[in-house]
Structures are given as C-alpha cells and as structure tokens.
Chain A
C-alpha cells in the first residue's frame, strides 16, 4: 500500500430491520472505524441505513467469471429443486 493513500473498503448497508446488508459501493479509509464513519457520511446522508458493514476490498475473494459455466450452469438442469416441477392435484392448497 502506498503511504499516500488509504486502503479501499467495500461498504454494505442494511436499509431497515429484517433486510440483509447490501453492497452499495466503496470508499477509502485508514482503518475500520473510519471506514464505518465515512460510510455513514457518504452512503446514508438520506437515512438509507440502520447498520453498516465495512470490509477491506483486498479481503473479498470473488468467483472467477470465466468459470461461470462450470460454477453455475449445472444447477440449471436441476429443475426438480423448484416447486413448480411437481404436479399437485386441483383442490390442494397450502402446499
């Protein structure tokens, strides 16, 4: 890391109780505390959140898009995992 620059952090915000934290963007901060405070000022100026997660960008390990075929396509053929795969006789509800 350059001395002249703060590390990059990915910011996740929970917009209200009951919802998951959602990625909103990134920012720079020298430490985790500052990352959360900066996120408060940058990403919740209009009451967009009630909880903030900050993760240093270098700690995010991501899947490789060139492997998307082998990672995600096999599940496309497993249609039996979805309820619509099954026939339910008329007159049956709540199933």
Chain B
C-alpha cells in the first residue's frame, strides 16, 4: 500500500466520519437557522470525502472508487481520528469537536495547496474555502457559548474537558508522513500544530475557557484502532451496501 494512498484515506475518512456525525443533526438543530448551517457543514464534508476517496481509489489503481472505499471497508481499514467519531452529545460538544478539528484542518489545507501532488493541491484549495468558513462558524460559537450564560459556559467547558484528550491525534505522524514529506507532497506537521495552538489559545481565551491540565491522550484511529462508536457508525453507514450487496442505487 502506497504512502500517498494511506495519507489520502486518512484525510478522506476524517471528512467522511465527521460529515456522518454532522448529518445526524439534520432536523434536530437547536434552531432552524443553525440546523441549516450545520447541514451545510455536513454537505461540505461529504463533498470533501467524495473527492478525497475517489482520488485515493485512483491512486490505489485497483478499481475501487469513492463509494467502494466509503461503504465497503472493514472497521480497521478506516483511518479517521478518534475525535471525529465521538458522539454529537449536546450542541456544545458538537461545536467543540468541530472547532478542534477546523483549527487543524485550516492550516493543513493551506499547506497542502502547495503540494507537489497536483490533484491533492486542487482538492485542498477547494476544501480550504469551506474550512475557513467552518472555523469562523465554530470559533464564534465556542466564544458565544463560553462567554454566554453560566449554563452554556459550564456545558462548553465540559465538552472541552471531554474532547481535549483526542486532540493530539490530529498531529499523529508515522512513516507515511515521513515518506510524503521527503517527496515534497506534504509539509512538516509541526507548523500546522503551531498554528493550531495559537488559534485554540486565542479562541479559548476569548471564550473564557480553561484548557484541561490533564494531559491524558487517546490515539489509535490513524492506525485503524477505533473507539466503540465506530462499529455503530459503520452499521448505519454501510447498512444498504451490506444488506443488499452488489446493487446500483
């Protein structure tokens, strides 16, 4: 398996699974306007997943397309981070998960625009526009909730306490990254992390939120080792393809 394939799968699965989670909100948002906004984010993420997984299939060259990759892999073959598979919880938890992710994705796509891989750079350029908006939306909400009422402050702080342990995996690297770095396809993750830290620090400061002092970290998704949530996500995501195999829809 090529490093490039593996890398695109990681990006694509993050979009796919977070898009799945966001789409669970459709029809259940806290207010109509926000329901529409969250569905837009879900749509952007599903669109990114489609481009990325189609490209991964092309790189692999075994005749698998985006749909085959999205719907017909085993759980260990999905390489999304643990963060994106965490349950929606309340609106604050969803927003916090989105914010931690957007703050990483924005600098990531900014760097990937300059990738020596033309296709990847094109996908990054398009996705960056969407991600900038997502980050604006999620940061504003983190601030509103953090500096809103006592209840909202408590809820969003609680969400941060719960999700913080999954944030370090966003910067997970291994031989896949090392290979692509040497080929000029990606840049050093350290730059992305530095930018993420600044964004997170500024937004939390404005939101009057405390970064948890507990440095307990949870990782595994990038290697295919998922939380208990993943099985349920896949049971829904793959339901039609597994129950009615080999049909066109």
Chain A residues in the interface with B (C-beta under 8 A):
6, 27-30, 33-34, 37-38, 41-42, 45
Contacts and interface: CB of A to CB of B under 8 A. Distances in A.
Nearest to B35: A41
Nearest to A28: B33
Query: Chain B's interface: helix, strand, loop or mixed, by majority?
Result: helix
Contacts of A34: 33, 140
Interface of B: 31-34, 36-37, 40, 136-137, 140, 144
Contacts of B140: 33-34, 37
Contact of A41 (B31, B36, B136): B36
Nearest to A38: B33
Contacts of B136: 37
6 contacts: A37-B37, A37-B137, A37-B140, A38-B33, A38-B36, A42-B33
Query: What are the nearest 5 A-B pairs in CB distance?
Result: A38-B33, A41-B37, A41-B36, A41-B40, A27-B33
Given A37-B137, A45-B40, 5 more contacts: A27-B33, A28-B33, A37-B37, A41-B36, A42-B36
Nearest to A31: B144
A74 B249 CA distance: 64
B216 to A, nearest CB: 35
A42 B34 CA distance: 10
Contact of A30 (B32, B36, B137, B144): B144
Contact of B31 (A6, A33, A37, A45): A6
A45 B43 CA distance: 11
Given A6-B31, A28-B31, A38 B144 contact: no
A18 B33 CA distance: 29
A31 to B, nearest CB: 9
Contacts of B144: 30
Nearest to A30: B144
A49 B144 CA distance: 27
Nearest to A29: B33
B69 to A, nearest CB: 28
Contacts of A37: 37, 136-137, 140
A41 B31 CA distance: 13
B48 to A, nearest CB: 18
B141 to A, nearest CB: 9
Contacts of A28: 31-33
Nearest to A27: B33
A38 to B, nearest CB: 4
